[in-house]
Structure 1
Amino acid sequence: MDDTQGGMDDEEALHGGNVSDEVVRVGRTVRKPWTRASPAVGALLTHLCERGYEAAPAWLGRDGRGRQCLEYVPGTTADRLPPMTVAELRRLGALIRRLHDLTADLPSFPALEWDVAVAPRRGEIVCHHDLGPWNLVRDTDSAAWTFIDWDNAGPGTRMGDLGYAAHGFVPLHPGGSPARDAVRLRALADGYGCDDAQRRELPDAVLHEVRGMHGLLVEGARTGRQPWARLHAEGHADHWGPAADYVKRHRHVWLAALTAPSLSVPDA
């Protein structure tokens, strides 16, 4: 088999994503539909690879059927694993910080065509825009962590990307404990190395991202825009709406924890 081309008999459907259709594994590669943003995503992943970023798959170009071709990453997505420990949240924050520092050096990003779902407040850097447990592959054999599904990458803010990650990984979900959330959010911010201004921005950035996702789903249901209309029909807005309310109610608790001179943060 030619691993760069692949045939129908060699393809294994990959499941778990909500947005991308027809994602398949062919040997050591993943094939996905080519989109208008694929050239920009390819430029981003190539940039990260050239600078030694370990948490992104290699970009392998376009296959003979016109699809994106990327490195297949073995492991399990974090949404199928126990919640991260505080120490792991620090590691996650550091991984996102390195990503952001590297994308800030991508010189062509304002001129590239991206496909960002939720409009950012401003364009500081190139963000992943979907840093959730469903898009972090963890390999227990090598201890490697790899972010996948970069199709919605594009200009955004550091705290917006980190805030979206906080929603999924802390997690900041309805029914949680605001005090426990505060400790875990502080660990994520400490791992990132947030300065004082970023710590003050982070709670509102979480709210912007969560509210934005809810609005996207509601608007998709109204207009029929896919895949958001389908996701709304499947009940995803029933999570994001209450999540936005939860973040709005408790962000003052998290702001106090983020800006406190010190906070006792256990490693569990």
Structure 2
Amino acid sequence: MHAKGLSFGAVEGEADAGPEALTVAEIDGHPFGELRFTGERWAVADVRLLSPILPSKVVCVGRNYAEHAAEHGADVPKEPLLFLKPTTSVIGANDVIRLPPQSKQVEHEAELAVVIGAAGARRVDRAGGAAAVFGYTCANDVTARDLQRQDGQWTRAKGFDSFCPIGPWITTDAAVDDVEVRCEVNEEVRQLGRTKDMIFDVPTLVSYVSHIMTLLPGDVILTGTPAGVSPIVAGDTVTVSIGGLGVLANRVATLD
């Protein structure tokens, strides 16, 4: 979002650089296919970064890191364990995570997010799964842990408004086979893992999901979280960073 309205843009500069070193070139239309630019350009510091995509669905993978499964006393799944988050849970960088009154234990979950490209994916093999990826970004699968335990299924615990921060942007040329996944709360490191430790890798996940539901352009797959999830409270700042993909920071507040 910028002074002239709302549009997609291409971020120019190094992903790990500070906002003062980055610019945004406005895209004419959407980012899928051949990019056309309007000629407008702004400093990142002068725009508001929304979620870089609003997917038709967010498909999430549970227990995809063995140590995270172990910290909850759960078995490692033999096949990807899937659940969905509603699109109304999606927010962007610097937006506020709102704590619902129904829960007394809301936790962070730092995750690599996969964004599906223009061709989508339906019943593809692993090679097709890799080819279907448009790019990658950071995500936080915010979870009301007490409600997850209480309900025995995960829809309510994972589905509150603001429970799916995504951003700050989509990186289209990243190699993510072995990158760091980090979560800090108020600059204290809470989670520190590497994508090489995922039980099911990205091509496998895209292929598996595509044999259940058609993945449309812009759909997002959250690939699971490493160990170290812990509660967040009003006043915290949660920062998810993934090597080469940038930093996703969100404040935490109670629901108004």
TM-score, with structure 1 as normaliser:
0.23
**Higher RCO (C-alpha 8 Å, min separation 6):** 2
Larger helix share, 1 or 2:
1
Larger Rg: 1
TM-score, with structure 2 as normaliser:
0.24
